[in-house]
Amino acid sequence: MPALARLAALFGTLTWAHYRRKPGRLGLALLGVAVAVAVSTAIRSTNNRVIHSFSRSIENLSGKANLQLTQTGGIPADKLWELSWLWEKGYFSPYIQLETSWQRQRIDLYGFDFLGDRRIRQFNLTRNLAQGPLPQGLWVAQDSPLNGKKEVELVSGAQGRTFPLAGVIQGINGRLPPVGAAFVDLGELLGWHPRLSGLDIWVEQEALESVQARLAQVFPSARIVTVATQQKFTEEMLQAFQMNLGALGLIALLVSCYLVYNTLNISVLERRRDLNLLIALGAKDREIFTALMLEGLAFGVVGGLLGAWGGFVLSQLSYGEVSESLTNLFYLSDARLPFSDWRGPLGSFALGVVVCLGAAWHPARRAVKLQTAQGLNQRVSEFDPQGIKTATGLGLGLILVALAVAWAAVLGHNYRLGFVSIFAAVTGLSFLAPLVLAGLVRLTARGEGLGLFLRASIKGHLFKLSVAVAALAVSLSMAGSVAVMVHSFRATLVNWMETTIQADLYLKSESSDRSPAGELPPEVNRRLLAQPWVQETLQLYMTRAYLKDREVDLAGVEFAKGQYQKSVSFVEGGPESFKEALDHQGVLVSEVLAEKTGLHQGDRLELSGRSYQIYGVFRNYSSQRGLVYLDVELFGELYPGARPIGLAVFLGNRENVEKGQLLVRELLGDLRIDISRSRELKDRALEIFDQTFRMTKLLQWIAFGISILAVVASLSAMVLERKAELAILLALGAKPGLLHLALLAESWVIATAALLLAGAGAFDLSWMLIGVINRFSFGWTIVTELPWGELAETGVMIYLGAALAAWVPIRALGKTQPAQTLKSEGE
Amino acid sequence: MKGLVLVLLLLAGPWGPLGAEPYLQAKGGYVFSFPKDHQPHRGYKTEWWYYTGHLSGPEVRYGFQFTIFKIERENGTAFLFHCALTEPQGFRFDEKLQREFPGLAGERDGGIWVEDNGLKIEGNRHRLVSHCQGANLELELSHARAPVVHGEEGLSPKGENPTNTTHYYSVVDLSGTAVLESIGQRRELKAQVWMDHEFGSNFLEPNQKGWDWITLNLDSGDQMMLFRIRQEPGPDFYWGTYIPKTGPTRTYRRFTLVPQGSWESRKSGVLYPAGFVVQAPEGTLALTPWLKDQELRTPLAGMIYFEGAVEVQGQWQGAAVKGLGYLEMTGYAGPIQARF
């Protein structure tokens, strides 16, 4: 018989025949793989699509311009005459970009030069231009929420302006304009916001470098980047986000790996008699090994396919959610981007197959090592002191590796190493499961009756149960650590806001909190200060600036005002830093910026061609790019004509802030200004925070669900394996309730062991997440605070979950017919 | 007159609607004053500076067109640049359209620019810089004769309707040097150039389908600007200016333009006259294009027209004459009004 045919026959006898009789277990294992692959697929696909959509948004807006020139404070238009040499190399187009709002929904308004801009022609506007009407009004994408309206009022700089809808921009060659954007002729915006935001420049590739160098001479303080660099920044910006979600997806896969391992291990043990008969009948070890690896492969392929499909569905659902969060946080993305990137599902499918093969390897090796005599004896205890020692050694070794990598991560400020350390640590801890389980049995299961049953049962199935413990411990570690991290972050944010948000009212443009669209008219402050009920106001100026290629937020604040000084929490320096910076025209930088650039108090910072001494480093959680504080006077020198984008108002009567809010509303009723009480501001910040972590929570629960499946699988296998024994006990008059209690107790012993391991795991993981990963990827200091309530809730959940897991085998036991079972066992 | 075609397309084109507008009108009594009147005239709907001429060197000759249009509308001002170069090996042309905005188009340092194409007039000196589909041309020109003002009281009529008029003058004796860089070659050439500058706010009537416009430089030293506006229904409208070598210029209407044969553009399918004969009491002049294909297809302006160098030959005032000229033919791609 040819080798392949023999293998196929073996696979049929060994695998197909076996799992046909065990549909529940087959379903559980496949479900575990599928869910894990689905989660991983969804994360990868969503991330890929979001990144792709970002670059598409950039590309669509820049029209494949290969250079983009921007300058803090805008581009002075008169300077453009100095670019006449550029026409020989290519062409350029000025634009204005404004963040506006329509019915409090963000709309990015682009003022392009409809007449000269060649990219606009790509959106089929040219035809409309040539055919007739003036290019006045807004042009939007087909799916834009503005489409179909007769006219819309967009708010910017605390003032609304009504634009008639001119038409829909048709995409060509598959390039669609972004949904969240509206386009208008540059001329219409020049009267509203006269500063140019930037220039898009198209030049031949070979002239790129020389043009870039010459542009830098004309605009020495401008940022001139290629579109490729721009895209790289976007990807970098999303990297930490992607890493966090990706790691959680991989942990879900790790948990599913345990589940597959357990399923295969149990199945091998169950089929020992079959296996040994086959060996006795001449099947070779290699063939048995290959057949069982094929079984693992089949799990991987079938579960992976189901998972990839599920992941696709999940990604459809999560994409909107994620892109909405990202749009709020960073930039617009095109939510209609069709699913076209198959790397996500394929990659996760492949990973699922590899995980299943890895999980099958040990059971397959174990199967061929079985001695015939041992194999014929169905009741072989899994209690193996040598095995426990080996697993423990391996576990401790991995934990040592994790510690070493963590040390390297801290020294190198490398959050990626932090993830490696986490993986090594959780895998190491899971290898300690047999030791913990055995120790727990020795401590808890004493005496006769239930204790004896428990001891025998757990020791006899130590490895199977250990795998369930490991799966549960990993997901609990993850859930616990993420809960600690999120809670600590939230608590830190709350504390920071309590220190920072001390004024009674906060004013900003309805449209945006960023310059120039968010600028408030100067009369706002004047009007407020003229009121007897206003004690003081603090003005905030803001713009974007560039430290070399790094984009940072630059804020002008009133250093001299005591109210302001009290609201800053310092990491380096103190309140005196304000006076020093004021006296010497210096700056203060945020912790994020200090972390990302390595700059500290006493260092000098190069900004727009000038050098400033840093007099202090302060905490700030509002800017992910990093924040530089300058005194308002210095800010005004650098950006003449800039207006504040925010105002903090201290009322004379601080007891009645609601009344103050009404008075300010009345006073500024003619302007489109958001007036928030400090409480409202804090609540809004926390709302955004919670939205950001919604996805994380979902993943936590999915991993937890998979691990509960692992416990169900282990306990069910144990019951099935011992059904003869249990049948004898029942036949001898043992009360079913007692056996049910025993199974429940076993499940809870597993939960307890998992909790013990998860405690250590969560401690390690939360330290890594808070102290290494978030610290080095985002640059924020998070003060650890334990979410006792949530942890207790997780503890209760795990015991409830364990009880639920015990219910499946209890139900199976309830259906057991002792006589029938004994009869079949004897055959 | 020459820029009329482009003006028309812009009247109803992207930059604004026809009709009620608070623009200045070309009216009688306008007194030209130079060099001030070389500069842009704000408040008129349309204005153009139109240079056509001949470049010559050892065993080589070229014809060129250089035009800048200023188009004012309610929501801003745009500048349009058209250029063409008639070379021994063929014809090339280009166009640029930009809004008035620093760096893109507008007035700078006393000059008028569209991207990197511009003209600057100081006294009697004219400097032109043109980048035309890879041919870079720089001209340094000057003139001795005073600018020729067309029509009476500074008004050039564009039909029988007395409100359809422009202010129109020409500099007819511009000469100087040209540097032409093309296909990796740099040539220094002699230049003979005719410049038109025209501005106004009202031009054609709906029944006017197109025109043929001609400038002529005869060996005898006499010069002419002649055009006919083709009207359907109605007889064609003929108008021109006769500029004798010496003596005063005069409005000239006793002539007809007779099309000679036809030439069909392979690129656009448009059928043009292959040449013209000027018939007048003074004699007959035959105009033959240097190249048959001197057609501009300009998508930004939305127009297809012919603008090319011609040779002139015939009998004039009883003597055989030769000369050079420029010919513009519009409206052959379809009635202009119907296109918009």
Each residue's pLDDT tens digit, A408-425 = 988 888 877 888 888 888
Suggest the residue from B11, B83, B101 to mutate for an interface test with chain A (most A CBs closer than 10 A): B101
**For chain A, what is the mean pLDDT?**
78
Determine the structural domain holding residue B18 and report its residue range.
2-339
Burial class (CB in 10 A: 0-12, 13-18, 19+), A822: middle
How far is B64 from B83, CA to CA, in rounded Å?
7
At A357, give phi and psi (nearest 5°).
Answer: -65, -40
Higher pLDDT, A262 or A1: A262
A582 conformational bin, left if phi > 0, alpha if psi -120 to 50, beta if neither: alpha
Above 80 in pLDDT, residue B95? yes
pLDDT at site B53: 96
Q: How confident is the model at residue B13 (pLDDT cuts 50, 70, 90)?
A: very low
Above 80 in pLDDT, residue A510? no
Suggest the residue from A69, A87, A126, A163 to mutate for an interface test with chain B (most B CBs closer than 10 A): A87
Q: How confident is the model at residue A827 (pLDDT cuts 50, 70, 90)?
A: very low
β-strand partners of B107? B112
How far is B25 from A133, CA to CA, in rounded Å?
24
**Contact of A132 with A125, CB cutoff 8 Å:** no
Residues of A in contact with B302 (CB under 8 A): 130
Q: How confident is the model at residue A243 (pLDDT cuts 50, 70, 90)?
A: low
Q: Residue B203, Cβ neighbours under 10 Å: how many? A: 23
Give how many domains chain B has, as a whole number.
Answer: 1
Interface contact A136-B75, CB threshold 8 A: yes
pLDDT at site A819: 58
How far is A555 from A33, CA to CA, in rounded Å?
50
What pTM value is reported for the model? 0.68
Which amino acid is located at B310 in the chain?
V
Given the structure tokens 């061929």, which residue do they identify?
A368
How far is A487 from B210, CA to CA, in rounded Å?
78
Higher pLDDT, A511 or A563: A563
Range name among A80-94, A761-775, B12-26, B62-76 with the lowest pLDDT average: B12-26
Element (H, E) at A471: helix A462-500
Picking from B16, B99, B102, the nearest residue to A80 by CB comes out as B102
pLDDT at site A330: 39
pLDDT at site A772: 79
pLDDT at site A628: 92
Above 60 in pLDDT, residue B8? no
Name the nearest CA neighbour of B265 among B332, B335, B179, B211.
Answer: B332
Above 70 in pLDDT, residue A223? yes
Output the six-digit token pair for A419.
Answer: 């993830």
Interface contact B17-A188, CB threshold 8 A: no
Residues of B in contact with A204 (CB under 8 A): none
pLDDT at site A685: 81
* B66-76 average pLDDT score: 87
Interface contact B115-A87, CB threshold 8 A: yes
- Does the CA dihedral B84-B85-B90-B92 come out positive or negative? negative
Q: Using N-to-C axis directions, what is the helix angle for A385-412 and A415-431, rounded to 10°?
A: 170
Picking from B16, B99, B302, the nearest residue to A134 by CB comes out as B16
* A174-179 average pLDDT score: 63
Q: Residue A42, Cβ neighbours under 10 Å: how many? A: 32
At A664, give phi and psi (nearest 5°).
Answer: -65, -40
How far is A643 from A156, CA to CA, in rounded Å?
13
The most confident of the ranges A189-193, A370-374, B260-264 is B260-264
In chain B, what percentage of residues exceed pLDDT 70? 92
* A803-810 average pLDDT score: 77
Let me know the angle formed at the C-alpha of A48 by A47 and A53, rounded to the nearest 5 degrees: 100
pLDDT at site A822: 53
**Contact of A467 with A710, CB cutoff 8 Å:** yes
The most confident of the ranges A207-216, A357-366, A799-808, B37-46 is B37-46
Element (H, E) at A689: helix A678-692
Q: How confident is the model at residue A314 (pLDDT cuts 50, 70, 90)?
A: confident
**Which residues from A are below 8 Å from B when comparing CB atoms?**
77-85, 87-88, 91-92, 94, 113-116, 129-130, 132-136, 185-188
Q: Residue A122, Cβ neighbours under 10 Å: how many? A: 18
The most confident of the ranges A121-125, A362-366, B20-24, B53-57 is B53-57
Concatenate the DSSP letters of all residues of B40-98 into one string.
--TTSSEEEEEEEEEEEETTEEEEEEEEEEEEEETTEEEEEEEEEEEETTEEEEEEEEE
DSSP letter at B144 equals S
Q: Mind listing the pLDDT tens digit for each residue in A606-622?
A: 877 788 999 999 988 87
Residues of B in contact with A91 (CB under 8 A): 115
pLDDT at site A380: 52
**Contact of A554 with A645, CB cutoff 8 Å:** no
The most confident of the ranges A157-171, A703-717, B80-94 is B80-94
pLDDT at site B4: 38
Interface contact B98-A132, CB threshold 8 A: no
Q: Residue B75, Cβ neighbours under 10 Å: how many? A: 14
CATH number at residue B144: 2.40.370.10
Interface contact B102-A135, CB threshold 8 A: no
**Which residues from B are below 8 Å from A when comparing CB atoms?**
12-17, 73-76, 78, 97-99, 101-104, 108, 113, 115-116, 131, 302, 340
Interface contact A85-B116, CB threshold 8 A: yes
Above 70 in pLDDT, residue B242? yes
Q: Mind listing the pLDDT tens digit for each residue in B270-284?
A: 999 999 999 999 999
Picking from B15, B98, B102, the nearest residue to A78 by CB comes out as B102
β-pairing, A610-618 vs A587-590, is parallel
Q: Mind listing the pLDDT tens digit for each residue in A369-401?
A: 665 445 444 455 556 778 888 889 999 999 999
Interface contact A88-B116, CB threshold 8 A: yes
Which amino acid is located at A343 in the chain?
R
Picking from A81, A115, A134, the nearest residue to B99 by CB comes out as A115
Q: Where are the alpha helices (DSSP H) in A219-342?
A: 227-270, 272-280, 285-329
Q: How far is A132 from chain B (nearest CA, A)?
A: 6
How far is A108 from A105, CA to CA, in rounded Å?
10
Those residues with Cβ within 8 angstroms of residue A467's Cβ, 6 or more apart along the chain or in another chain = A258, A261, A262, A265, A433, A710, A714
How far is B96 from B78, CA to CA, in rounded Å?
10
How far is A78 from B111, CA to CA, in rounded Å?
15
Given the structure tokens 């009491």, which residue do they identify?
B281
Higher pLDDT, B109 or A142: B109
Cα nearest neighbour of A186 on chain B: B99
**Contact of A646 with A542, CB cutoff 8 Å:** yes
Output the six-digit token pair for B159.
Answer: 């039909």
Between the alpha carbon of residue B275 and those of residues A656, B68, B99, B223, B306, the distances in Å are 90, 26, 36, 19, 11
Instruction: Report ipTM (2 d.p.).
Output: 0.85
Residues of B in contact with A185 (CB under 8 A): 75
How far is B34 from B27, CA to CA, in rounded Å?
18
Q: How far is B45 from chain A (nearest CA, A)?
A: 16
Residues of B in contact with A90 (CB under 8 A): none
Interface contact A88-B17, CB threshold 8 A: no
Please report, for chain A, how many H helices and E strands are present, in that order.
31, 19
Above 90 in pLDDT, residue B259? yes
* A246-257 average pLDDT score: 69
Cα nearest neighbour of B75 on chain A: A187
Pairs of CB atoms within 8 A across A/B? 69
Suggest the residue from B99, B129, B137 to mutate for an interface test with chain A (most A CBs closer than 10 A): B99
Q: How confident is the model at residue B11 (pLDDT cuts 50, 70, 90)?
A: very low
pLDDT at site B271: 96
β-strand partners of A540? A646
Residues of A in contact with B15 (CB under 8 A): 115, 134
pLDDT at site A131: 40
**Contact of B249 with B243, CB cutoff 8 Å:** yes
Residues of B in contact with A132 (CB under 8 A): 12, 340
Range name among A105-119, A683-697, A710-724, B138-152 with the lowest pLDDT average: A710-724
Higher pLDDT, A808 or A167: A167
* A133-158 average pLDDT score: 79
How far is A454 from A748, CA to CA, in rounded Å?
11
Cα nearest neighbour of A117 on chain B: B98
Q: How far is B319 from chain A (nearest CA, A)?
A: 49
β-strand partners of B286? B277, B313
Picking from B17, B99, B116, the nearest residue to A116 by CB comes out as B99
Q: Mind listing the pLDDT tens digit for each residue in A742-801?
A: 878 888 888 888 888 888 888 888 888 888 777 777 778 888 888 888 888 878 888 887
Q: How confident is the model at residue B3 (pLDDT cuts 50, 70, 90)?
A: very low
The alpha-carbon radius of gyration of chain A (Å, integer) is 33
